[in-house]
């Protein structure tokens, strides 16, 4: 089993202690997905109390990918304007404020507006985290990306798992269940107050990589398409997997347990594969491993649903492609500036691709009444994922391929 050694070096020009950077990254990662995952379990209650129409609920479920794409692209320019650490602090505060306001919202439109604010903070944080890791740990970004992706996986799980219990503990009040995460977001901002001096003492050296120049960079496109197709697969499975297995004859309770196992597997997987990817000069073997798992899991769930638990485990391990895709954002660039540009480009393009998946599945199931075309869509996305992953996983650096 691959073990992770905490990176020791830091290039902080002000001598900020390494433990403070690690604490800041971990606390932030635990919160970057709660704006998304805390809504699903109580969506019906929210829609009923705020008189949301079906179209509004559909918009609410699409907002995360739209926000991640739109605000992610703006992050490098904002980082140069305000400083990376300052912007990260602003993002966490905005996320907390948005979560707090939407928990108290008395109308559907205020709830949607506050959600955009919270998701904007999350989007900026998603892009900045790999950049800050590259800044502070330039020699061993893989180890710190492991810490980050694992905390991100834990945060994704707790947002989904604990919103309803918190709600029930307060008499079924969904506002408390949703609003609790605002407090944690504000707490995650505290270490970054101490790290603001990093920006006051100057940015990290290196030439700026123009985001527009990546439109002509094949490596940037390979990473973006790999990230996007993997995110598409992930969003489809997270949103539709319970309904798929219910329609195959399983109970709602069994479907919920399968989803819990599916998401829970991401935690140990996030500890194993990012450091392994960082130690290899070429990551195409890891890409092929995850593609193979999907090639086993999708047809298995499609044609042999009686063994659904087996296919859920196989697909859950296959989801390890996501933390590897995050790690590639740091491995495919030489500098923090390159990582910032690649992270913004890949996540901006990637989440636009990902947003197609859940919407397309909804349309396809309405037309056909079954899941056959959904599995065709997933296997098609996987073929593109494998093609892009071949080039994204090959050793090379963004700055060398302009």
Residue 203 CA to residue 263 CA, distance in Å, equals 37
Average pLDDT, the chain: 88
Q: Among all chains, which residue has been given the structure tokens 């990093």?
A: 198
Q: Is the pLDDT of residue 45 over 90?
A: no
Contacts of 248 (CB under 8 A, 6+ apart): 305, 308
Where do you find CATH 1.20.1250.20 in the chain? 15-203, 214-397
Q: For residue 211, give Cα distances in angstroms to 316, 344, 345, 348, 389.
A: 33, 8, 7, 11, 21
Residue 294 CA to residue 316 CA, distance in Å, equals 9
What digits encode the pLDDT tens for the residues 258-307?
888 898 898 899 889 998 998 898 999 999 999 999 999 999 999 999 99
What digits encode the pLDDT tens for the residues 307-354?
999 999 999 999 999 999 999 998 998 888 888 889 999 998 999 999
Contact 332, 396 (CB under 8 A): yes
DSSP state of 242: H
Using a pLDDT cut of 70, give the percent of the chain over it. Answer: 93
For residue 192, give both structure tokens. 């970054």
Residue 196 CA to residue 316 CA, distance in Å, equals 38
What digits encode the pLDDT tens for the residues 99-150?
999 999 999 999 999 999 999 999 999 999 998 988 888 877 878 888 998 9
Residue 96 CA to residue 218 CA, distance in Å, equals 37
Global confidence as pTM: 0.84
Q: Among all chains, which residue has been given the structure tokens 């997987």?
A: 269
Q: Is the pLDDT of residue 205 over 60?
A: no
Residue 11 CA to residue 173 CA, distance in Å, equals 46
As a whole number, mean pLDDT of residues 242-258 equals 88
* pLDDT for the residue numbered 208: 64
Residue 123 CA to residue 69 CA, distance in Å, equals 8
Q: For residue 171, give Cα distances in angstroms to 52, 176, 214.
A: 22, 10, 51
As a whole number, mean pLDDT of residues 175-188 equals 94
Which fold would CATH assign to domain 15-203? Growth Hormone; Chain: A; (1.20.1250)
Residue 53 CA to residue 30 CA, distance in Å, equals 31
Which fold would CATH assign to domain 214-397? Growth Hormone; Chain: A; (1.20.1250)
Is the C-alpha dihedral spanning 179, 181, 186, 187 positive or negative? positive
What digits encode the pLDDT tens for the residues 15-35?
567 788 899 999 999 999 898
Residue of 348, 116, 355 lying closest to 220 (CA atoms): 348
């Amino acid at each position: 089993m691959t073990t992770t050694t905490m990176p020791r070096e830091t290039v902080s020009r002000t001598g900020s202690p390494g433990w403070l950077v690690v604490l800041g990254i971990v606390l932030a990662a635990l919160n970057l997905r709660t704006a998304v995952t805390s809504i699903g379990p109580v969506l019906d209650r929210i829609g009923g109390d705020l008189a949301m129409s079906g179209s509004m609920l559909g918009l609410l479920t699409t907002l995360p990918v739209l926000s991640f794409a739109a605000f992610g692209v703006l992050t490098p320019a904002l980082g140069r304007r305000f400083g990376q650490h300052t912007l990260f602090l602003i993002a966490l505060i905005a996320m907390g404020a948005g979560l707090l306001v939407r928990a108290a919202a008395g109308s559907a439109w205020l709830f949607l507006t506050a959600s955009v604010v919270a998701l904007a903070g999350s989007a900026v944080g998603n892009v900045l985290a790999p950049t800050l890791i590259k800044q502070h740990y330039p020699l061993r970004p893989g180890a710190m990306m492991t810490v980050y992706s694992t905390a991100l996986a834990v945060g994704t799980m707790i947002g989904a798992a604990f919103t309803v219990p918190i709600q029930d503990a307060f008499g079924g009040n969904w506002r408390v269940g949703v609003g609790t995460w605002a407090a944690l977001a504000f707490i995650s901002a505290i270490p970054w107050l101490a790290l603001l001096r990093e920006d006051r003492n100057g940015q990290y050296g290196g030439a700026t990589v123009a985001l527009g120049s990546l439109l002509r960079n094949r490596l940037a496109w390979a990473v973006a398409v790999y990230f996007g197709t993997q995110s598409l697969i992930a969003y489809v499975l997270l949103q539709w997997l319970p309904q798929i297995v219910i329609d195959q004859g399983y109970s709602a309770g069994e479907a919920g347990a399968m989803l819990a196992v599916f998401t829970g597997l991401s935690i140990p997987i996030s500890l194993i594969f990012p450091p392994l990817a960082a130690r290899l000069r070429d990551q195409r073997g890891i890409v092929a491993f995850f593609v193979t798992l999907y090639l086993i899991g999708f047809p298995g769930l499609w044609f042999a649903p009686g063994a659904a638990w087996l296919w859920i485990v196989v697909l859950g391990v296959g989801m390890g492609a996501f933390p590897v895709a995050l790690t590639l954002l740091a491995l495919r660039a030489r500098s923090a500036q390159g990582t910032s540009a690649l992270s913004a480009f890949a996540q901006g393009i990637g989440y636009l691709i990902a947003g197609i998946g859940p919407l397309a599945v909804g349309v396809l199931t309405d037309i056909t009444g079954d899941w056959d075309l959904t599995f065709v869509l997933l296997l098609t996305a996987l073929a593109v994922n494998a093609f892009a992953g071949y080039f994204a996983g090959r050793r090379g650096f963004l700055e060398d391929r302009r």
